[in-house]
Amino acid sequence: MKKIYTMIARFASILALSTIAFGQKGILLSRASFTAAPTAVGQSNAPAVEYQSLLNLRYYEADDGFMVDDLQLVFPPQGNQKLAFVISDKAGGEVARVPLRIERLRAFEAFRLLRPDGVPGIARVRRAGDFVMAVKLGDQAITALPFSLKEEKSADPYNPKTRYVREGPWRELAYFSAPSDKPDTPITFNWWMSLRELPPGARRALCTVHIMQGGQEIAATRSPVVASYDDWQFFKAQMIQPKGSAAQWLTLATLTKRDGDLNIALKVNGQPVKSWRSQVRGRQIERLARNQIEFEPHTDFIAPRLIDLSRDGGCDYCMLDLFWVKANAR
C-alpha cells in the first residue's frame, strides 16, 4: 500500500510540473517531458541551479570561504555526468572547485539536490577581485553568479585582522514566494540585507517591508526583523493588510486583484533604505525576463519555482512559485 501511495504522489508531482507557466507568454512544458527515468527526468530543458540556493550559500568573511551544500538543481541532466561548483576569476582562471553528487529530492522528479562528493565542501578564494561562482556540467557552466570581494583590514594594531567583504546580486534581488496552486495562502517577501547598507551607527536595525500600489500602502510586515550582520543576511516575512479595525494576511490572490505598479520599500527604524519595483498585469505579477525558460544566456536564467527545504511556516518540502524583483536604482 505504501508503494502505491508513493507512485501516486510521484504521478501527481509530474502532472503539477507539466503545467508550469513561465512568464506572460504562458509557455507550458509538455507533460511527456517529465516522464520519470531511473536516474533523471527525461526532458529537453537545459539544467539550471536555483539562484536562491546559490545566494544563500554560507560565507565566512574571516576565512574567505563558501560552504557548498544543498544546492538545488532543476531539470537534472540525463546519465551520470560530473558536476562541480567552481569559482573563477575575471580572466577565467579557476580559483576553487568542489565536486558535487546528485541526490533525489523526495517525489519531485524535475528537481535534485547537489551536495559535496567526498570532500568537505569549502571553496576559498583568499584574495580581492571580481569572480564568478558557477555550477558546471563537465566543462560547461549551467548557472553562474558574478560577485566581488574587497579586502578590509582591522585598524586595531593589537588585533590585526583581514577579511574579504562580498558584493553582488544580494544587494538588488528579492522575491515574493507562495505555495504553488494555493493562491489563498499567505505570501512571503524574501530579501537580503547587510548592515553596510545603513547609515553609520545604525546598529539596532529594526527592518520593516511596506508594499505600495497606486500611491497607497496596501500591506506591511506584521513586526520588524533585526539586521545584525555586516555580511549579507537572508530575511523572509509574511505581510498583513489592514481591514478596518482588523488585519488579515496578504495572499497572492489579493495582491494581484488589481493591475498596477507595485513598490516594495524596506525601512530601517522608520526610514526608507531601498526599494524594489514590480507590476501586476492581467492579475499576475510580471516576472523578470531572466525567469523565462528560454532566456539567454542560459547561465543567467533564474528558475521561477523552488522546493522549500526550510520546513517552517507550515511548508514541508512544498513547491513554491517565486516572483523575483529587482531593486530600484539609488
Residue 176 bridge partners (DSSP): 189, 323
Question: 86: buried, middle or exposed (CB in 10 Å: 19+, 13-18, 0-12)?
Answer: buried
Instruction: Classify 9 as helix, strand or coil.
Output: helix
> Cell 507550458 identifies what position?
28
Domain boundaries of the chain, sorted by first residue: 2-32, 48-167, 170-327
pLDDT tens-digit profile of 296-310?
999 999 999 999 887
258-271 residues labelled b (16+ CB within 10 A) or e (exposed): eeeebbbbbbbeee
Domains 48-167 and 170-327 share a fold: yes
Provide the CATH topology of domain 170-327: Immunoglobulin-like (2.60.40)
Extract the runs of DSSP E, i.e. beta strands, from 76-158.
Answer: 83-89, 94-104, 111-116, 122-124, 129-137, 140-153
Question: 62: buried, middle or exposed (CB in 10 Å: 19+, 13-18, 0-12)?
Answer: exposed
Place 83 in a pLDDT band, splitting at 50, 70 and 90: very high
Query: What predicted TM-score, i.e. pTM, was given to this entire model?
Result: 0.83
Three-point CA angle 252, 106, 84, nearest 5°: 95
* Distance from C-alpha of 276 to C-alpha of 43, rounded to nearest angstrom: 35
pLDDT tens-digit profile of 215-263?
899 999 988 999 888 899 999 999 999 876 677 999 999 999 999 999 9
Cell of 92: 577565467
Which overall architecture, per CATH, does domain 48-167 show? Sandwich (2.60)
The pLDDT, as a whole number, for residue 182 is 85
The 3-class secondary structure across 263-304, one letter per residue, is EEEEEECCEEEEEEEEEEECCEECCCHHHCCCCCCHHHCCCC
